[in-house]
Structure 1
Amino acid sequence: MPLSRTASLLSIYPHITSRDRLLLQLLDDHQVLTTGQIHRLLFTARRTCQIRLNELAALGLIERFRFSRDGGGSQPWHWTLGHNGHRFQAAAHQRPEPTARSSNQTVQRLSANPHLTHLVLTNEFFVRLSEHARRHDDARLDRWWSEQVTHNQFRKVTADGHGLWTAGGVTVGFFLETDTGSEALGSRVVAKLAKYGTFIRDSGGTRYPVLFWLGSEQREEHLHRLLPGQHTGVPVATATHAADPAARVWLARGTTSRVALTELPSDHGEALAANPNYGDGVFLP
């Protein structure tokens, strides 16, 4: 593509497809996605995905960065909005026009964020659900909210994300807690349940399960030993990062058999009635 990275947005429009716009919205909502995640969300062939990402980068719509691996080699490319991508999204949502400096600072702060791994892993959870939905006609990710949007809507909740998942005609809401192993389970992770208990009491009947997505079976077993008797009004289920979250991999508190997400207790209460479309983001085909 001959266009420069400083070309006007109007001159870039003929090169932006509906899939590109969907990608820009995803990056606007969730900050960063890897090449593999974008491939599984929006493309069939990985090579086609790589070529298109490079073309969008040449237009200044997206930027990429990656770090070296400690054992050698490199991590996958991480993609985020470039300056023209920020400009396009600002225009689409009637936000102030960003400067090139502010766009550059946003990319730099994101790439240096010590919680980047946690953010990418949280996004991976929803990517896997979306990937499953692409392959199964009876499944759908109806809602994928970031940490910030979740907090804006459910003020007492500080979850890493919130979603609505439909499979087999059943829709379940959930709050996601992504565990990278950096927090002590007893003093930090389990303590989060107190806020969920307050939310359930004050939310007009909304009662969504809290999903703890853990890095190992050992962490999962340890967490279950800490759970009995604490915050019993909060439905809790666990699975590991190695598991497909759309499969029958969720172990609820006090049970021994793993179930699917749609088999977990979920009561929407007033959460949907109050503002059903708030922050719903994009529809993933």
Structure 2
Amino acid sequence: MPLPRTTSLLAIYPHITSRDRLLLQLLDDHQILTTSQIHRMLFTARRTCQLRLNELAALGLIERFRFSRDGGGSHPWHWTLGHNGRRFQAATHERPEPTPRASNQSVQRLSANPHLAHLVLTNEFFVRLTEHARRHDKARLDRWWSEQATTKQYRTITADGHGLWTTGDTTVGFFLETDTGSEPLGRLVAKLDRYAKLARRGGPRYPVLFWLDNEQREEHLHRVLHGQHTTVAAATAVHTSEPAGTVWLPRGSTGRIPLGALPSDHGQPMADNPNYEDGVFVL
């Protein structure tokens, strides 16, 4: 039976495992994950994942929703923090405890967000990297920042995400631009100016990864990039590709390379950067 929404968190603690804590933190950081994404990151057996998610939902730690498909059937379950999950995360990070009404509104707004599919797709990029790292001992996703976390850190750029990816002894930083085909290519390319400004002020000179809807759009984007004069490295791949693989086509190149081979400059140390104040870049 589901626990009352007013249940003391202390009564829930004995039911929360270390893997559950990791899931709650992922949902706190990235808002939404599908059953498949959670399975590939945290579980071995899909059935075990499904059962555990249902148990966490009964505890009020997570909630789920899904939509019907136009041609019949349903989209996958989408999971987010439930009220008790939001309470738990608030206690963990010393934030004010949310009210049941606030928690309910957060779930409703997320489910009705017109950019929900874009958010799920952006998270899928990092899920695939995490999944790859689970299978390869020398690979590791050291950082996965959401759009909100990246914007808070760097202010003037609007990346969909930021990560640090390690293969062997090499760590590559990157900014991600997830494309669903709805934005003019010129607008995508224009974003490079902000990344260039960040680098000029001593910030990181990370490649900008355009993760594109299809091969045709990728070809068209490279035509636009060809006419741009920028110091920012850019590379492209399509949604069907595995981000950790040899799938990235750098601007001005004809051959694809793996993510770990892209150029990456971590920039001036933050503590020594005059544009870095109170935990953020001030440009």
Q: TM-score range by the shorter chain?
A: over 0.9
Counterpart of 1:282?
A: none
Counterpart of 2:190?
A: 191
Shift of 1:245: 0.2
Q: Provide the C-alpha distance between the structure 1 equivalents of 2:20 and 2:230, rounded to a whole number of angstroms.
A: 45
Normalising to structure 1: TM-score of the pair?
0.93
Q: Provide the C-alpha distance between the structure 1 equivalents of 2:107 and 2:229, rounded to a whole number of angstroms.
A: 39
When the two chains are superposed, the root-mean-square deviation of aligned CA atoms in Å is 1.6
Where in structure 1 do 4 or more consecutive aligned residues deviate above 3 Å?
Answer: 1-6, 271-275
1:144 aligns with 2:140: no
Contact residue 193 and residue 231 of structure 1 kept, 8 A: no
Shift in alpha-carbon separation, 1:99–1:199, aligned structure 2, 3 A: same
Counterpart of 2:225?
A: 227
Q: Provide the C-alpha distance between the structure 1 equivalents of 2:270 and 2:128, rounded to a whole number of angstroms.
A: 24
Contact residue 110 and residue 116 of structure 2 kept, 8 A: yes
Extract unaligned runs of 5+ from structure 1. Answer: 280-285
Alignment of 1:39-188 (within 5 A): 39-186=39-186, 188=187
Shift of 1:270: 2.4
Q: Provide the C-alpha distance between the structure 2 equivalents of 1:266 and 1:231, rounded to a whole number of angstroms.
A: 19
Shift of 1:230: 1.2
Q: 2:213 aligns with which of 215, 223, 228?
A: 215
Counterpart of 2:8?
A: 8
Shift of 1:272: 6.1
Shift of 1:53: 0.2
Q: Which amino acid aligns with 2:199?
A: I
Provide the secondary structure at the position in 1 that maps to 2:196: helix
Provide the secondary structure at the position in 1 that maps to 2:6: coil
Provide the secondary structure at the position in 1 that maps to 2:106: helix
Q: Which amino acid aligns with 1:229?
A: G
Extract unaligned runs of 5+ from structure 2. Answer: none
Normalising to structure 2: TM-score of the pair?
0.94
Provide the secondary structure at the position in 1 that maps to 2:73: coil
Q: 1:262 aligns with which of 248, 256, 260?
A: 260
1:253 aligns with 2:241: no
Counterpart of 1:244?
A: 242
Q: Which amino acid aligns with 1:270?
A: Q
Q: Provide the C-alpha distance between the structure 1 equivalents of 2:240 and 2:213, rounded to a whole number of angstroms.
A: 8
State the number of aligned residues.
275
Q: Provide the C-alpha distance between the structure 2 equivalents of 1:235 and 1:271, rounded to a whole number of angstroms.
A: 20
Contact residue 161 and residue 176 of structure 1 kept, 8 A: yes
Contact residue 165 and residue 171 of structure 2 kept, 8 A: yes
Contact residue 236 and residue 252 of structure 1 kept, 8 A: yes
Contact residue 90 and residue 96 of structure 1 kept, 8 A: yes
Q: Deviations over 1:34-70 (max 9, x none)?
A: 0000000100000000000000000000000000111
Q: Deviations over 1:169-198 (max 9, x none)?
A: 110000000000111112x11111111111
Provide the secondary structure at the position in 1 that maps to 2:141: strand
| Identity over aligned pairs, percent | 77
Shift of 1:3: 4.1
Contact residue 4 and residue 58 of structure 1 kept, 8 A: no
Q: Which amino acid aligns with 1:69?
A: R
Shift in alpha-carbon separation, 1:237–1:2, aligned structure 2, 3 A: closer
Q: Which amino acid aligns with 1:164?
A: L
Contact residue 192 and residue 230 of structure 2 kept, 8 A: no
Q: Provide the C-alpha distance between the structure 1 equivalents of 2:229 and 2:130, rounded to a whole number of angstroms.
A: 31
